[in-house]
Amino acid sequence: MSAFDPAFGGAGLGDAAQQRTLATILRLLGAADLSLARLFEGHVNAIMLVSRYGSEIQIANLSKSVKGGALAGVWGADGAIGLSRARHGDASVLRGGKIFASGAGFVRRPLVTVATDGGHIMYLLRLDGQEQVDVASWPALGMRASASKAIDLTGITVGVNEEVGSPGDFMRQPFFSAGAWRFCAAQLGAAERLATLFQEQLKAKGRASDPYQLERVAGCAVACTTARFWIEEAALRFGSESLDPSAVVAFANLTRCASERAALDVLELVQRGAGLSAFLRGQPIERISRDLATYLRQPVPDLAMSDAARAILSGHLSIGDIE
Ligand SMILES: Cc1cc2nc3c(=O)[nH]c(=O)nc-3n(C[C@H](O)[C@H](O)[C@H](O)COP(=O)(O)OP(=O)(O)OC[C@H]3O[C@@H](n4cnc5c(N)ncnc54)[C@H](O)[C@@H]3O)c2cc1C
């Protein structure tokens, strides 16, 4: 299924009405392989950004690339020295690179950001795979298959054809913050898979009737289902045009809090209930736990939580009010 609008040959997965379907897909992918889900999320995010802010020609070009097998992504994270541009007549030449760039080395159509005084500018690049990737730059515990490495983009020429939208569009709300529900959905898929593997292990070992283990199974079910309710509601709100954008962002931020807590609960319950086998390399529980613990680390969680609390206190979102 493609996230492009049907007018550009897609299934409209990026459309407001399809966000719950997208949530289900991300959960299923997260359950199968969290790195794959991460790559897919970045791909869909890039398509949604280009579809929202790009020109018809840019959307059509990206759609053609994707139909030809190219993967897209959004590379926003900067190292100590961020990606910059130097003017050369009507065009600019990029200097520096990106870090934590999922799919570095094989994503061919990344949307990269360059910080300017007027806000972040997005450039939709066309890479040939020859760019220098720092293979040692992702020594993380998990998510190795996401290839979230540092990549050097120095020397790439960008101009009006590559520039998507206007400066500041990248962080335009509610979309910038409220889209966080997508990584929550992928993470939830991994947490659900862990809970399933735990149940299977309990049954295989004849430990499924133990009251303490039953309590852990119930705890996993509560955590996963709580997160799913939040995420599905956040997905619906992301697509709503009638809601106050501040309330949509606040709800997504609360969803981050709820789903991170749920995933951490599942990790603890499964690791304590499965015991040492949850830490033995080669065991699915071990790999998924490592991937999930790593991917749970997303930007500024404290700010997401405190911004949501401030939105409640200032009356943008009322507790108990789902409108
Ligand atoms: C698997 C994976 C794939 C990724 N792929 C991509 C990608 O394709 N593209 C991309 O752009 N990025 C990607 N990222 C990076 C991601 O978007 C974040 O930049 C990264 O995860 C931030 O993690 P962090 O824990 O360092 O965040 P931080 O925001 O530094 O948070 C760490 C802690 O510090 C706190 N904190 C943050 N700011 C402050 C402050 N000013 N003062 C005090 N405390 C503070 C936070 O609340 C938190 O407790 C990826 C990350 C992962 C894990």
Q: Which pLDDT tens digit goes with each residue over 159-199?
A: 999 999 999 999 999 999 999 999 999 999 999 999 999 99
User: What is the maximum alpha-carbon separation in the chain?
Assistant: 73
Residue 35 beta carbon below 6 angstroms from any ligand 1 atom: no
pLDDT of residue 72: 98
HEC-encoded secondary structure of the chain: CCCCCHHHCCCCCCCHHHHHHHHHHHHHHHHHCHHHHHHHHHHHHHHHHHHHHCCHHHHHHHHHHHHCCCCEEEECCCCCCCCEEEEECCEEEEECEEEEECCCCCCCEEEEEEEECCEEEEEECCCCCCCEEECCCCCCCCCHHHCCEEEECCCCEECCCCEECCCCCCCCCCHHHHCCHHHHHHHHHHHHHHHHHHHHHHHHCCCCCCHHHHHHHHHHHHHHHHHHHHHHHHHHHHCCCCCCHHHHHHHHHHHHHHHHHHHHHHHHHHHHHHHHHHHCCCCHHHHHHHHHHHHCCCCCHHHHHHHHHHHHHCCCCCCCCCC
pLDDT of residue 320: 82
Residue 105 beta carbon below 6 angstroms from any ligand 1 atom: no
Q: 224 pLDDT exceeds 80? A: yes
Residue 128 beta carbon below 6 angstroms from any ligand 1 atom: no
Is the model's pTM score more than 0.85? yes
Ligand 1 pocket: which of 40, 300, 303, 306 to mutate (most atoms within 8 A of CB)? 300
Residue 8 beta carbon below 6 angstroms from any ligand 1 atom: no
Backbone angles phi, psi at 132, to 5 degrees: -80, 120
Q: Which residue has the higher pLDDT, 240 or 52?
A: 52
Query: How many Cα atoms occupy the beta-carbon half-sphere of 173 within 13 Å?
Result: 12
98 bridge partner residues: 151
Rounded Cα gap, residues 204 and 228, in angstroms: 27
Q: 250 pLDDT exceeds 90? A: yes
Of the candidate ranges 42-46, 239-243, 266-270, 281-285, the one whose mean pLDDT is the lowest? 239-243
Give all strands of the β-sheet with 119-124 in edge-to-edge order. Answer: 72-75, 109-116, 119-124, 163-164
Rounded Cα gap, residues 38 and 22, in angstroms: 13
Confidence at 322, pLDDT banded by 50, 70, 90: low
What is the residue-averaged pLDDT of the chain?
95
Confidence at 240, pLDDT banded by 50, 70, 90: confident
Confidence at 154, pLDDT banded by 50, 70, 90: very high
Q: 321 pLDDT exceeds 80? A: no
Q: Counting atoms of ligand 1 from 1, which one is nearest the CA of 73? A: 8
Q: 2 pLDDT exceeds 70? A: yes
Q: Counting atoms of ligand 1 from 1, which one is nearest the CA of 35? A: 1
Residue 171 CA to ligand 1 centre (angstroms): 16
Q: Could you tell me the two tokens for 87?
A: 């003017």
Q: Counting atoms of ligand 1 from 1, which one is nearest the CA of 297? A: 25
Query: How many Cα atoms occupy the beta-carbon half-sphere of 155 within 13 Å?
Result: 6
pLDDT of residue 27: 98
Residue 100 CA to ligand 1 centre (angstroms): 9
Output the residue whose Cα is nearest ligand 1's atom 45. Answer: 300
Residue 73 beta carbon below 6 angstroms from any ligand 1 atom: yes
Residue 296 CA to ligand 1 centre (angstroms): 10
Q: What does the pLDDT look like over 87-130, one tens digit per residue?
A: 988 899 999 999 999 999 999 999 999 999 999 999 999 999 99
Q: 323 pLDDT exceeds 80? A: no
Of the candidate ranges 205-209, 212-216, 314-318, the one whose mean pLDDT is the lowest? 314-318
For 254-274, what is the mean pLDDT? Answer: 98
Cβ-based burial of 50 (10 A; exposed 0-12, middle 13-18, buried ≥19): buried
Residue 134 CA to ligand 1 centre (angstroms): 19
Residue 148 beta carbon below 6 angstroms from any ligand 1 atom: yes
